[in-house]
């Protein structure tokens, strides 16, 4: 007798897995080895085993899957070691190219900053000279007017005070 899995049995499954089930099968699907092979990459089989299998069937599932999991982990560990080796070599090559370029950049920047400082300092000295001359001229013009203003205010105060 064919066994089926119904969408209602997947109530605790994550939403993407329930949606995928509905898209592929609708409300239910008849389970077969051929179908399982076709959708092997699509579904979370450990979740399905934990939630849909009886205790004896789950034990058998784990017994069968354990060697495949061990092999997967072994293959991935070797691939990770190769990946890390390739990345380390690529990073070393990157730094080999980057470091002299960065040193040259810093050298150019340091020289440019020093040149800027010299030019800035000369320009600032010129500015201060011009500012000093302008202040002297300003003072020549404003001091007599200030003296006149102060005389007018002094006289106005005296007259206002005397008539108060």
* pLDDT number for residue 142: 95
Low-confidence residues of the chain: pLDDT under 70: 1
d(CA 98, CA 156): 78
User: Closest Cα partner for 21 from 61, 51, 59, 58?
Assistant: 51
Domain ranges of the chain: 1-52
The pTM is what?
Answer: 0.56
pLDDT at res. 1: 65
CA distance 10 to 123: 78
């Amino acid at each position: 007798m064919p066994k089926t899995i119904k969408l209602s049995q997947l109530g605790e499954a994550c939403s993407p897995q329930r949606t995928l089930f509905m898209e592929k099968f609708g409300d239910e699907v008849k389970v077969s080895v051929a179908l399982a092979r076709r959708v092997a990459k699509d579904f979370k089989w450990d979740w399905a085993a934990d939630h849909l299998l009886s205790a004896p069937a789950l034990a058998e599932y784990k017994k069968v899957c354990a060697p495949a999991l061990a092999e997967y982990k072994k293959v991935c560990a070797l691939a990770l070691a190769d990946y890390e080796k390739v990345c380390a070599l690529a990073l070393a090559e990157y730094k080999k190219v980057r470091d002299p370029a960065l040193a040259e950049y810093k050298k150019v920047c340091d020289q440019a900053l020093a040149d800027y400082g010299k030019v800035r300092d000369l320009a600032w000295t010129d500015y201060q000279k011009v500012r000093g001359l302008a202040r002297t001229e300003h003072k020549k013009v404003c001091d007599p007017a200030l003296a006149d203003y102060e005389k007018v205010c002094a006289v106005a105060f005296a007259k206002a005070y005397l008539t108060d």
